[in-house]
Each structure stands twice: as C-alpha cells, then as structure tokens.
Amino acid sequence: MIGEVERRTTVQEATVEYRDMGNGEKKAVISGYAAVFNSESRNLGGFVETIHPEAFDEVLATAPDVIGVFNHDRNLLLGRTGNGSMRLMKDPYGLRYEIMPNENTSIGRDVVQWDVVQWVKDRTVVGSSFAFAVKRDGGDSWSTDGQRGIRRREVRAVGLLEDVGPVVRPAYDLSSVVVSRRAIEMALGETFRPVQTMANAAKRGLKLAQRHEGVDSRLICIAERVANREIVSLEEVSYLAGVFERCVAARSTGWSGSPAWIEWQLAGGDAGERWISRRAASVPAEDRQTDEPKVVIASAAPPKEPDHEVEERDANLKPTAGMAAAARRGLELHEQGRSGDGLEPQTVENARKIAARENLSPAHVRRMRAWFRRHKVDKRPDWSKKGEETPGYTAWQLWGGNAGMRWSEAKVRAIFAVAAILNGGRGGVDIPEADKSSIERKVNS
C-alpha cells in the first residue's frame, strides 16, 4: 500500500554535458539531482522534511519504468528508464538522473526536446523535481523539534517513483507548496480540525451554494472538508482568513441570504471566523493565498547557514495577505476621494507598506494596535456600503482592516513577551546569546 502522490523540487542546478557515444558522435545529456539526502526543507506548512539516504532503495530495486518530464508536466516527455533514454542512480548525495533527449522530438506545441537542452545550458531552467508516494507502513517517521516547536518528517521508504526532471523554478514558497493530506494531519493534529459548529455552517452554505452561480469552486472544495471536519492546512487557513476579511465588509443587518453571507457560511460561519482568527497566527507571514494546485508540490532547500535561521525568526512582522488586500482597498478608496480631509500623509505611506507586505517595525505595530483600539467604536454596519464608503471605513482599510486589528494585537503581545524575557522577567525560555542582540534590536526599534 502506498500513500498520496507528492512532488518535491530541489534547488540543485540541472546541467548539460556532451558525451562521446563511441562512434565520433557526441550526445547531449541533461543531468541533475531530483532529491538530496538529509537536506532539511523549508517549512512545508507546519513541518520540515528530510529524505533518508535509503528511501529509494526498495523502489529502485524493482527497476521501475520512470519517466523524465519537463517542468512537472507529464505531457512534456523527455525520456524514460524503460527504453534506456533515462538513467537513475543513487549516490551518497542524493538521487541523480541522466536524460538523453532527441534533437527534433516534439514534446508540446512549439517545444522540442532540444529546446530544453538549450534552456538548461543558459540557466533559464534551474532545479529538478520528482513525484513519489511513500509506503503506507513505515514510509515515513515523525518527531518534534522541541527547541523550535515544529514537527519533523523523515521520508524513509518510497513505494512509488513516478517521474523526475528539470524545472524552470524550484518551489521555494507556498504558492506552489501543498503536501499530502496525511502529512498535513500528522503535522498539525487535532488543533486544526474544524469544530462541529463550523461544520454545520459549512453544510448550510453548501446547500445554498447549489442554488447560486459564481461561488468560488475552491471555497466549495474547502467547505466540503470543513463540513466533514477534516483537518485543514495552514494554506487553507490563510485562504479562509481572506474569505472572512472580504465578507466582513458586507456584513450588516439583513445580509442573510446574500452572496457574501453564503461565502461566510461556507467558510464556517461566525464560529469559523473566530476559529480561523486564532489559528491564522500559525501561518508563516511570507505565505500567500494561491489558486489550488493540480499537483502535490513541496520544496527541499539546501542547508542554511546558522545566521539565516536567526533572520527568519526576526522576519515576523510582515503583514498578512488579508491585511495587504484591505490596505489596497483603502488606497483605492483614497484615490476616489473617500478618505476625507483629516487623513495624514503618513497613513497613506504606511498603507503602501502594508499593501506591499513589507516588514513593519515594532513601533509601527504598537501604533497600529493603538489606532484600532481608539477607532473600534467608529465602526458602523453601513459604513462600507458600496459607493458610499465613509472616511472612517477607508482609514480602517488603510490600516489593514479587521485582519490588521487582530494581527497587531497578537504581535504586540508577542513583542512584550520577548521584552519581558530579555529584561529578566518570567519566561521559561533560554534565548541563545547569538540571537539575543538581534531580538533586542527588533523589540527596541
């Protein structure tokens, strides 16, 4: 028994060499590492991953007919082990492939195999990928990194190897990263299983959506999982947070039955809005909402230097996608003259930073929280009516909207918690000296 098919990409460059075939002819060979052993991936949505050096031993022993493809696409065929146009080899570094493409063989509209050779040579194409499925029993092992508080997965036995090949751009961000449903469940656990009241709202939304056209198909897919109380991924949490942020502007007395209300129910209703807001803080700040991918993809990055890890922990004040969307809406309304006469130029400048998802300083975040606390009483049910948006609503969006209010509250609490530890307060966490100065600069900036 094998699990769900997944895909991984590596940042090790594919290369081209010309080999003497023994008759005076030289033939181009595309080679690269589809997988790198013992190399920790980036955060794949709640866990990191490594591949054991013996992970491919069993499947390679069966002499599988594996295809070589370009850019994850099985329709863009470059070679296969079955006819000898591709070879797979394991060495201490990783799983290596060699593909011998034909010069004039077409692999797609206006693309021949020789084009890929040229793209690899001029580094238009970088990196490699492979598609696989782990064995159900003993195919992977899980542990927890207590120091970083993150789950670790080690792939130990691959039961299926489908394809390998060069890719244009290795997947470094979660816009192209979704891992198998089982891996998500192992990493996130029951904390990310929707509650029953969310499931009830999603079921209600699914019934209503059948009678309405134009409902986002992706939202329907996620709503079906919420209705069945299946564990949702961090990327899906981020997506649902965006749905609530978009719908809250239309929330008012009598909105029941409206398209926005149906989306609200599909996302889990009022219970879902509270549930998502508490879990959205777990979504890495650099992750963004994306279209649902058709293939399961994740990334394996080369080992990081120690100081890179400190930089990642420092970069925790980056606005979320929901905040950026709200700020862009505020800027649009400002351009339409709906911000009134009392808006400070600095507010507009800050909104541009939020819209661009630039890292904010702790001082900026503290001002943001203070602004939301002062102006929360200004919220009105009709202040977002289309074509009649009030200056207060425009300012609210410029500061990051409801997502910004929740985010700034959480971030200020985190900043003060770190400050308390640095100043000798109660904590229970020992901060390495190498990291302390970096954190101090961020807290006090």
Residue 300 covered by a domain: no
Nearest one of 429, 439, 420 to 311, comparing CA atoms: 439
> 88 near 81, Cβ under 8 Å?
yes
Q: Which two tokens stand for residue 388?
A: 């009649």
Tell me how many domains the chain contains: 3
Q: Mutual orientation of helices 269-279 and 259-266 as an angle, nearest 10°?
A: 60
Statement to judge: residues 165 and 282 lie in one domain: no
Residue 194: left (phi > 0), alpha (psi -120 to 50), or beta?
Answer: beta
Statement to judge: residues 439 and 315 lie in one domain: yes
Statement to judge: residues 197 and 328 lie in one domain: no
Residue 61 covered by a domain: yes
Which residues form the domain of 243? 191-287
Statement to judge: residues 151 and 47 lie in one domain: yes
Residue 271 covered by a domain: yes
Residue 179 covered by a domain: no
Nearest one of 222, 228, 215, 225 to 261, comparing CA atoms: 215
Residue 292 covered by a domain: no
Looking at beta carbons, which pairs linking 100-108 to residues 24 or more positions away fall under 8 Å?
Answer: 100/27, 100/28, 100/29, 100/30, 101/28, 101/30, 107/70, 107/75, 107/76, 107/77, 107/78, 108/73, 108/75, 108/76
Tens digit of pLDDT at every position of the chain (445 positions): 787 888 888 877 788 888 887 777 788 899 999 999 998 887 776 788 899 999 999 999 999 999 999 888 888 889 999 999 999 999 999 999 999 987 666 665 555 677 888 888 888 887 888 989 999 888 899 888 777 778 888 999 999 999 999 988 664 433 334 455 566 656 666 778 899 999 999 999 999 998 887 788 889 988 998 999 888 877 788 889 889 888 887 777 778 888 889 999 999 999 999 888 877 655 544 443 433 333 333 444 333 333 333 333 333 688 888 898 889 998 988 888 888 777 788 889 899 999 988 888 888 888 898 888 888 877 888 888 888 888 889 999 999 998 899 888 888 776 655 544 444 444 444 444 554 555 555 545 4
Statement to judge: residues 370 and 259 lie in one domain: no
pTM of the model: 0.48
Q: How many CB atoms lie within 10 A of CB 261?
A: 19
Residue 301 covered by a domain: no
Statement to judge: residues 267 and 136 lie in one domain: no
Statement to judge: residues 21 and 131 lie in one domain: yes
* Distance between CA atoms of residues 92 and 280, nearest Å: 40
Statement to judge: residues 74 and 201 lie in one domain: no
Statement to judge: residues 169 and 201 lie in one domain: no
Residue 185 covered by a domain: no
Residue 296 covered by a domain: no
Q: Last residue of a domain, which of 287, 320, 338?
A: 287
Statement to judge: residues 250 and 159 lie in one domain: no
Statement to judge: residues 156 and 231 lie in one domain: no
Statement to judge: residues 283 and 347 lie in one domain: no
